[in-house]
Chains A and B, each alone.
Chain A
Amino acid sequence: MVKKTFRVSDMSCSNCAMKLESLEDSLEGVKEINASYHKLTMVIEYDETKLSEEQIVEAVKRKGYTAVPA
């Protein structure tokens, strides 16, 4: 398991954080996601053998946001 932080600058409200955290349910290999609108960050703990950084960025993009590794 690794824990990585992404900067998501285009969050515009608390609901954006909730939407990003919902990736917990759909992305295989994710243990936990903590997104913060206050800090514009998303901290994700995941199994790197099942999921890559690129896949995370792509999944975030599908939610309508842009994630950049911090």
Chain B
Amino acid sequence: MSNSKNSSIDPVVLVTLGVVLVAVAFALIAFQPSGAQTIASASGTWGQIVVAFVTGITTGGLSCLAMQGGLLASSLAHQIEQEYQPAPGHLKRHGKKVEFVPPSRVNSALPIFLFLLAKLVVYTLFGALLGWLGSFLTFSPMTRAVLMIFIGIFMIGNALRMFNVHPIFRYFSVEPPKFITRYIRRTAKGTDTFTPLFLGALTVFIPCGVTQAMMATALGTGSVMLGAALMFAFTLGTSPVFFVLAWLTTELGAKLEKFFMRFVAAVVLIFGLVTVNSGLNLIGSPLSFNNMTSGLFASSSDSIPAVDSAQPVDADGSLTLNVQNEGYFPQTLRAAANTAFTLNLVTNETYSCARDFVIPDLNFYQLLPATGTAQVTIPAQAAGTKLFFTCSMGMYTGVIVFE
């Protein structure tokens, strides 16, 4: 006796697919290369919110699913259990004829939706709290680098756990304390609405690596409104990916769940490596991928914007670095050894994180104006010295070579 499957499409699914399409369109508009002008560059604050949203939709969803999938599964457990257990159905009498009416299939879309709704509300409030706290704190690039490396290692460990590489990686999975799980179970027992709402809210206690990075960013804003807006945009961005993958996983069964978990593991592994690499960039480590390969690819990288490929040397011997939304040009600057010089950092409607300019070895950090020129005095360095510079996210890099 098989369960009957509801042939109509769930409205919650339709709404969510609509949100996915809108989100994708939003992301495409934000990144369309219409000259140098993008939505992200239309305004600094708006740009940060768009970046948070795009981060959510591109990386956050998968990373969060890997980390918080357990709680989501808990919120679906009641529904899933109903499907696992042989449901009795019931008998319906039509005159003398008795017909067996099989149990209806359980809808998994609503609890996922409620879970994500609660998550959105709680993360927005948490973003406001972080922004408020951030008005009292500031993260140095070094602190941020250590945090990023730690988060990256955590993501890599979780990916290797999902790939079942070695039992040791199981310890990268957070086991909530027993009293919490027992409390959740007993409080939420038997209520299909409350459980996903409650568990969605609880995800704030087990943020994934990307979320933690976004929380650090919200903390760095030092503003209640911007902190809340960033976390709202990011969580909203994660929601469609989270929803679709979770819904497909519950609907399509265990075989596809394994496939999706491997896919998620692969993506989390890549993002983990990227995060560690960004952290290494931020501490100016020559071991980062960018810095190790800067010599190899310097000529090709510098040739991207042809007008910027030549190294500008001013009459007074100062050097100029163009800080653009896409990074630093040229990526390799050559300076005379044993001579101090002035580095001109030129921005022109630059709103990406390239504005947050860091030279780790000099312990120099400055948020550059969106348009203008900032000057940095670079002290004399011995021949052969390499001074790496980067944005505060460790995404865009470059080097000054002294010869």
Q: Which residues of A contact B (CB under 8 A)?
A: 13-15, 17-19, 21-22, 24-25, 34, 36-38, 40, 62, 64
Contact = CB atoms under 8 A, between A and B. Distances in A.
B73 A15 contact: yes
Given A13-B69, A14-B70, A18-B181, A25 B176 contact: no
A48 B74 CA distance: 29
Interface string B381-394: 00000000000000
Contacts of A25: 185-186, 189
Contact of B175 (A24, A36, A40, A64): A36
Interface residues of B, number: 21
A70 to B, nearest CB: 16
Q: Which of A17, A18, A24, A37 has the most CB of B within 10 A?
A: A18
Given A13-B70, A18-B181, 17 more contacts: A13-B173, A14-B175, A15-B70, A15-B71, A18-B70, A18-B74, A18-B176, A18-B185, A21-B181, A25-B185, A25-B186, A37-B173, A37-B175, A38-B171, A38-B173, A40-B170, A64-B84
Contact of B176 (A14, A22, A24, A62): A14
A21 B171 contact: no
B77 interface: yes
B175 A17 contact: yes
B178 A14 contact: no
A22 B175 contact: no
Nearest to A15: B70
B182 interface: yes
Contacts of A21: 178, 181-182, 185
A15 B69 contact: yes
Contacts of A38: 170-171, 173, 175
A17 B170 CA distance: 12
Contacts of B85: 62
Contacts of A40: 167, 170
Contacts of B77: 19, 22
B252 interface: no
B91 interface: no
A64 B77 CA distance: 12
A45 B133 CA distance: 45
Nearest to B71: A15
B249 to A, nearest CB: 13
